[in-house]
Amino acid sequence: MQSPFLCIEKEKRMQKRKDHKGRVLKDGETYRKNDGLYMYRWTGGDKKRHTVYCSTLEGLREKEKEIQNDLRDGIQQGSSNITLNDVYKMWKNDKVGLKQTTRNNYIYMYEHFVMNDFGNRKIKEIRKSDVRRYYNGIVDSKKMSVATLESIHTVLHQVFILAVEDGYIRINPSDLVLGDVKRSHNFETPKRHALTIPQQEAFVSYINNSEKYKHWLPLFTFFLGTGCRVSEVVGLRWEDVHMDENYIEINHNMVYYQRDKGKCYFSVTSPKTTAGYRIIPMLSEVKQALLNEKKYQEEVGLTCQASIDGYTDFIFLNRNGFAHNPQTINRTIKRITLAYNEEEIERAERERRAPVLLPNFSCHNLRHTFATRYCENETNLKVIQEIMGHKDIATTMEIYAEATKEAKVKSFEDLSGKIKIS
């Protein structure tokens, strides 16, 4: 039992610790008569004294609750002025294990889109609604593609992860936000479709019979006969093609980066996954296409002028002897498609038949077209996965399921009346 003397002393202290309204103040709380502010002082996990102020006692005690929760959860004290940019600089200095090109892309995305605006916000004050509002704002104002938004989110999400790990914030405010924004803007990634066999034949035939586009035929034949990614095709060297053994070795990518106006560059990187390293058997049509390309370049005196990250002697060149820009290839596909469709509509009207029109498509659709043709003729999913360079067999299975859907329907039609169920 406490002595009467100690009880009296405690009572005296309590009497002294009241605000101007007569309310008893807790340990650490102070009311300042000179400016009417309430003050709370405490010792943080960093062993330093910290202070917060508020104009009301109720508001001060709300802050006290937050402080005690932070102390309990290991949130850093004295970090109220730490900005998102401050944490980004920590991430930039400490992040390892990234390809240099990937790292450069992350840095560009953050410093171009985040740093001068959203990045100045205090990290502890950023809420999920703030991130969502920021994403919606940059989408609405800049009309950016879903790929750009995903790149911004990727680096921003990692910065917030570091902020959580280092105890600046309790939860990651960017969690699940990207999906919400994509859905609200109808940003669902469009499903890529393969060309049908008639469309594929029409595309190849048109190029073959066009004086304007015929020199593109070896390149597009290679796409359709290997299923390679565009970064693999534009970076392919003659030394990667083994004519005598009839196979193609895929061991690198060449990526084209376009930044601000006038700032573009190529970079050679290793495949993103081990699945990207692969050997592709060479079809006779592909071999002949490569021989035709070599013959064409010899006839017009075209030689490789490009040396990128120590790589040279690229197979597919533009008229200046440099590697093709993937955007140029896609624009060429679009021009070919428009020209073909115009002629095909007129021809179909004359012949009184339905036209075989080409859809809007890109290089990646050519890769998907090869995969579809391959799945239509091969049942071993593991082999298909290895040829395509898919990291996840689920990707292969999805293409296989789509490619064989019509065959399944036909098989059931043929089965009708044969299994004696009625």
Domains 15-73 and 197-407 share a fold: no
Report the run of H or E that residue 251 belongs to, with start and end. none
Question: Tokens in use for 223?
Answer: 């796409």
Q: What is the CA radius of gyration of the chain?
A: 32
Tens of pLDDT, residues 387-398: 999 999 998 998
Tens of pLDDT, residues 56-74: 989 988 888 877 776 666 6
pLDDT at res. 4: 56
pLDDT at res. 305: 95
pLDDT at res. 341: 94
Q: Give dist(CA 197, CA 406) in Å, integer.
A: 13
Model confidence at 342: pLDDT above 70: yes
Model confidence at 333: pLDDT above 70: yes
Question: Tokens in use for 62?
Answer: 């709300």
pLDDT at res. 241: 97
At 185, the pLDDT band (50, 70, 90 cuts) reads confident
At 46, the pLDDT band (50, 70, 90 cuts) reads low
Tens of pLDDT, residues 187-241: 655 566 899 999 999 999 999 999 999 999 999 999 999 999 999 999 999 999 9
Choosing among 3.40.640.10, 3.40.109.10, 3.40.390.10, 1.10.150.130, the CATH entry for 84-184 is: 1.10.150.130
> 197-208 vs 363-377: helix axis angle to the nearest 10?
130
pLDDT at res. 1: 53
Distances (CA, A) of 285 to 66, 223, 411: 70, 11, 31
Mean pLDDT over all residues of the chain? Answer: 87
The whole-number average pLDDT for the span 145-151 is: 81
Q: Where are the domains of the chain?
A: 15-73, 84-184, 197-407
H helix count then E strand count, the chain: 16, 10
Model confidence at 186: pLDDT above 80: no
User: DSSP for 2-27?
Assistant: --HHHHHHHHHHHHHSB-TT-PBPPT
Q: Give dist(CA 216, CA 332) in Å, integer.
A: 9
User: DSSP for 268-285?
Assistant: EE--SSGGGSEEEEPPHH
Tens of pLDDT, residues 168-181: 888 899 998 998 88
Model confidence at 421: pLDDT above 80: no
Q: For the beta carbon of residue 358, count every other beta carbon within 10 angstroms.
A: 23
Cα dihedral: 271, 274, 275, 281 (round 10)? 80
Are the CB atoms for 388 and 242 separated by under 8 Å? no
User: Looking at domain 197-407, what is its CATH homologous superfamily?
Assistant: Intergrase catalytic core (1.10.443.10)
pLDDT at res. 106: 87
Q: Give dist(CA 113, CA 105) in Å, integer.
A: 12
Model confidence at 29: pLDDT above 60: yes
174 residue type, one letter:
S
320 residue type, one letter:
N
At 422, the pLDDT band (50, 70, 90 cuts) reads low
At 330, the pLDDT band (50, 70, 90 cuts) reads very high
Q: Give dist(CA 347, CA 69) in Å, integer.
A: 75
pLDDT at res. 287: 97
% of the chain beyond a pLDDT of 90: 55
What pTM did the predictor assign?
0.66
pLDDT at res. 402: 83
Tens of pLDDT, residues 80-108: 788 999 999 999 988 877 777 778 888 88
Model confidence at 16: pLDDT above 70: no
The CATH number assigned to the domain with range 15-73 reads: 3.30.160.60
Are the CB atoms for 58 and 38 separated by under 8 Å? no
pLDDT at res. 190: 58
* 3-state SS class at 31: strand
pLDDT at res. 280: 97
Distances (CA, A) of 375 to 32, 227, 247, 379: 78, 12, 20, 7
